[in-house]
Amino acid sequence: MKFSRLLFSLTLLLTVLFAAGLSAQNLTISSIEVEGNKLADKSLILSVSDFTIGSVLTSTATQDAVRQIYELGLFSDVQLLGEIQDGKYIDLIIKVEEYPVVTEVQYKGNDEISDKDLREIDSIRIGQMISPNQVLSSVKQIKAKYQEKGYYRVKIESELKEVTDDPLTNEHVLVFEIDEGPKIRIREIEFVGNEIFTDDKLRGKMGNKPKGFLRSGNFDPEKHEEDKEKIVRFYREEGYIDAAVLSDSVIIDENDPRWMTVQIEVYEGPRYYFGETSFYGHKVYGENALYDQLTYEEYDVYNPEKFEESIGQLYSLYQEQGYIHARIFENLTTVDSMINVEFEISEGVPAKINKIEIVGNTRTKEKVIRREMFSRPGQIFRRSLLERSVRNVMLLNYFESAIPDFRVLPNGDVDLVMEMKEKPTGQFNAGAGYSGQDGLVGTVSLGMPNFRGNGQNLSLAVEFGANRNSVSISFSEPWLFGTPTSFSSNIYNLNRRWYDDFWEGRRGGSIRFGRRLSWPDDYFRLYGGYRLEDVRYYDFEDTTSYPDLQALNEDWLRTSSVNMSIVRDSRDLPLFPTRGSVYRFTTEYAGGPLGGYYEFHRHTFEASKFIPLFWKFVLAGKMKVGVVDSPDGEDGVPFTERFSPGGTDPDGTIRGYDDGRVTPKNSLGQSIRGRAMLVYNAELQVPIVEQQIYALLFADAGNSWLAGYQISPFNKDELYKSYGAGFRIVVPGVGVIGFDFGYGINADDPGWKPHFQVGTTF
């Protein structure tokens, strides 16, 4: 349409010129007028046309002007007219016809989809000029939405109606007349030509499904196209690389147009296997090293994905030694049902890192990023060091992403560019939480992770409620004096009511130093610290169940202790890891030469593992065990140093039970907290929005005992078990919040129990 109008407009002008016996090359523009524009600005049209008074009119200029005015997207027609003066000059007229302006969009006949939902689908906006192509695009969008909901035979007509007779406004109402037709569902999906795999097997690979329990049976045309690709991909993964979908059809039931049958004809072809694999052109690595990278063996069923994975492994092998310019060419030859593979390798030379540029770090200082990187300028490029560098930077939890890129230099070396995207790190939070132990607790906290971009952390937190009041201030420096030595300190004051029986007061502080290790490997860290704390127990009920604590006469009793931890952390991400593990052993000794009222030793070990499954599912498992004892016997272990798993208690998570109540009981049936503990957790984590929203299924088990020798890791009758489901959401400026609904299998009154928590179980 546009081309025909453009041709007509140019022909019209040239006809005027030739009728006068003149060439466009001899005419000078003496004046320019614009006609037909109602809303479009005249100066815009003149500017785009590139016509100026006094310039010579050429055929090229007329073509360019009409094309450029059309490209504004405002006009349905553009014409160039002219009146010749004295045989040398031309008064030029640019005549345009504007597209209509939409002042309202109406939908008629739509019962299944509301006007509001249609407006969200429709790309047309009130007050804009619209072209026929835009209207057609909206019709397609609306039709696609209806077909997604099963209205496969929907018909949509559009009409533009003038609002007024005023030619200057050009205002129109756009009306979509919708004939929804019947909702059509898939009754059956049939296959023709399949002998190797059954219909059920092939249907299982498809997104569109026949109607059934919890299945709508809606036919989605886009999914149908994807389904054909999935079927072919499935055949090829099973070695049938010649497989193809020959035809497909949708058959509407003539007797009941609410139902359809989808029919797909396939060609399976013969099955192929991997034959011999050979390498040529390799000097850096021997054949055995190259064969080790292959994910297939001779006589395995041929699988294109395994073949591509093997090529990727070979590239990774070369990139690990700096051969980033290596090229691998594959040649496949078929002999009967065997596919022989020849890899020809052009190795090139190793590339060095010339320099490292860091961009996008709007808050974090470069030194904070560079000190986490294993890749260094002047090094031979190594893929593993780059991957480790990205992991370390992401574990800072200051960035949404860290994406490496390369600039290849003329000599073959590379500049490494790290593209950073910062997270909002300042956190001010005011809210409330509830637990079975503390009841309703209000919180106000100010966190300053990455303080002033230096990687330091500073936080202040205040809690207030009927059963809990606290204030704490903490600071941490991950690189003390520019070395991989960390330092942290914390001071706090806490008052907490226990079991509706008595209050605990706790005040104190701690310091801790840490150091990164290179042995046994560089995932290890060693920490050591000191804690000084005063504790007292007061305001007991007259009929208290804890006379041993009451006998302490509400005195402030001091704990002076040293602690040491060794940690191995190989997670790939700080929140919701997809692979890796964390092992942590902590031991603490109090009293003796350190002074204080209490003398005890406390030890905990925990191990977490993250295993990627299919798609983006991740299986997370955790085990935590702890023991605490004293030379002074049971009375020498402070009440608050004992273990109280249950619910979402920090000692150990066993959802489906009250917080801190999976403990031994005294003669009065009251929780007395254990001196030994064992807890297992397993979660299947599913990303709804990666690194933001997760759903999960979980199973927990655990218990606490009066002594370490009573721990029974394999006696299921000794463990309190539960299962359930929940979700986690990352809230900017707040952190991770979650809700779990757990069923306590061994609870006194088994049933479902809700749990609100801040942070993750792992």
CB atoms within 10 A of CB 473: 15
Q: How confident is the model at residue 17 (pLDDT cuts 50, 70, 90)?
A: very low
Q: How confident is the model at residue 733 (pLDDT cuts 50, 70, 90)?
A: low
Q: Output 17 or 649, whichever has higher pLDDT.
A: 649
Mean pLDDT, residues 177-201: 94
Predicted pLDDT at 57: 86
Mean pLDDT lowest for which of 215-224, 246-255, 333-342, 745-754?
215-224
For residue range 92-128, what is the model confidence (pLDDT) as tens digits? 999 998 888 888 999 999 999 999 999 888 878 888 8
Mean pLDDT, residues 718-725: 96
Roughly what angle, to the nearest 10 degrees, separates helices 304-319 and 221-237?
A: 80
Strand order in the sheet with 89-98: 28-35, 89-98, 75-85
Q: How confident is the model at residue 283 (pLDDT cuts 50, 70, 90)?
A: very high
Q: If we measure between CA atoms, which residue out of 635, 629, 438, 627 comes closest to residue 546?
A: 635
Q: Output 338 or 553, whichever has higher pLDDT.
A: 338
Predicted pLDDT at 74: 87
- Continuous segment of H or E residues that includes residue 529: strand 524-538
pLDDT > 60? residue 7:
no
Predicted pLDDT at 26: 65
- Continuous segment of H or E residues that includes residue 76: strand 75-85
pLDDT > 90? residue 221:
no
Mean pLDDT lowest for which of 73-87, 171-185, 584-598, 690-704?
73-87
Cα separation, 314 vs 304, in Å, equals 15
Measured CA distances, 369 to 6, 382, 514, 740 (Å): 57, 18, 19, 36
Predicted pLDDT at 14: 45
Query: Helix (H, G, I), strand (E, B), or coil: what is residue 496?
Result: strand
Q: Report the DSSP beta bridge partners of residue 612.
A: 618
Mean pLDDT, residues 467-486: 95
Predicted pLDDT at 549: 87
Cα separation, 598 vs 586, in Å, equals 19
27 φ, ψ to 5°? Answer: -105, 135
CA angle 29/30/32 to nearest 5° reads 80
Mean pLDDT, residues 32-58: 88
Any idea what DSSP says for residue 717? Answer: G
CB atoms within 10 A of CB 178: 23
**Cβ atoms of residues 642 and 629 within 8 Å:** no
Provide the b/e sequence for 290-306 (b: ≥16 CB within 10 Å).
Answer: beebbebeeeeebbeeb
**Token pair of 212, please?**
């059934």
Cα separation, 633 vs 631, in Å, equals 5
Cα separation, 294 vs 109, in Å, equals 60
Q: If we measure between CA atoms, which residue out of 688, 565, 678, 699 comes closest to residue 621?
A: 699
Q: How confident is the model at residue 230 (pLDDT cuts 50, 70, 90)?
A: very high
CB atoms within 10 A of CB 53: 10
pLDDT > 80? residue 42:
yes
Mean pLDDT, residues 394-400: 92
Rounded to the nearest 5 percent, the helix, strand and coil shares of the chain are 20, 45, 35
Cα separation, 514 vs 245, in Å, equals 61
Cα separation, 138 vs 145, in Å, equals 11
Predicted pLDDT at 216: 85
Mean pLDDT, residues 487-514: 95
Q: Output 736 or 435, whichever has higher pLDDT.
A: 736
Measured CA distances, 682 to 55, 221, 422 (Å): 80, 39, 32
Q: Which domains, and CATH codes, for the chain?
A: 2-98 (3.10.20.310), 101-179 (3.10.20.310), 185-267 (3.10.20.310), 273-346 (3.10.20.310), 353-422 (3.10.20.310), 427-758 (2.40.160.50)
Predicted pLDDT at 15: 43
Q: Return the amino acid letter for 480.
A: L
Sole residue written with tokens 């906006």: 125
Reading phi first (left if > 0) and then psi (alpha if -120 to 50, else beta), residue 716 is in: alpha
Cα separation, 469 vs 438, in Å, equals 10
What is the per-residue DSSP string for 12-62? HHHHHHHHTT--GGG-EEEEEEEES-SSS-HHHHHHHH---TTSBP-HHHH
For residue range 686-720, what is the model confidence (pLDDT) as tens digits? 999 998 999 999 999 999 999 999 998 888 889 99
Q: How confident is the model at residue 759 (pLDDT cuts 50, 70, 90)?
A: confident
Name the average pLDDT for the chain. 90
Provide the b/e sequence for 619-658 (b: ≥16 CB within 10 Å).
Answer: ebbbbbbbbbbbeeeeebbbbbbbbbbbbbbebbbbbbbb
CB atoms within 10 A of CB 520: 8
Mean pLDDT, residues 491-515: 94
Predicted pLDDT at 5: 44
Sole residue written with tokens 């453009």: 6
Mean pLDDT, residues 211-229: 89
- Across 591-707, the runs of DSSP E, i.e. the strands, are 600-612, 618-629, 676-689, 693-705
Burial class (CB in 10 A: 0-12, 13-18, 19+), 141: middle
For residue range 348-369, what is the model confidence (pLDDT) as tens digits? 999 999 999 999 999 999 999 9
Q: If we measure between CA atoms, which residue out of 358, 384, 389, 386 comes closest to residue 373?
A: 389
**Token pair of 621, please?**
């498992």
Cα separation, 402 vs 691, in Å, equals 14
Mean pLDDT, residues 425-439: 68
Cα separation, 200 vs 205, in Å, equals 9
Q: How confident is the model at residue 16 (pLDDT cuts 50, 70, 90)?
A: very low
Any idea what DSSP says for residue 233? Answer: H
Measured CA distances, 668 to 301, 412, 676 (Å): 68, 78, 21
Q: How confident is the model at residue 546 (pLDDT cuts 50, 70, 90)?
A: confident
Please count the CA atoms within 13 angstroms of the CA of 493 that sit on its side-chain side: 3
Q: Output 444 or 742, whichever has higher pLDDT.
A: 742
Strand order in the sheet with 244-252: 185-192, 259-267, 244-252
**Cβ atoms of residues 246 and 193 within 8 Å:** yes
For residue range 602-628, what is the model confidence (pLDDT) as tens digits? 999 999 999 999 889 999 999 999 999
Q: Report the DSSP beta bridge partners of residue 607.
A: 583, 623
Predicted pLDDT at 169: 73
**Cβ atoms of residues 699 and 722 within 8 Å:** yes
Query: Helix (H, G, I), strand (E, B), or coil: what is residue 425?
Result: coil
139 φ, ψ to 5°? Answer: -60, -45
The full length of the chain comes to 762
Sole residue written with tokens 């991400």: 573
pLDDT > 80? residue 19:
no
Contacts of 294 (CB under 8 A, 6+ apart): 277, 310, 313
307 φ, ψ to 5°? Answer: -65, -45
Q: How confident is the model at residue 587 (pLDDT cuts 50, 70, 90)?
A: very high
Beta strands at 185-192 and 259-267: parallel, antiparallel or unpaired: parallel
Predicted pLDDT at 434: 67
Q: Return the amino acid letter for 398.
A: Y
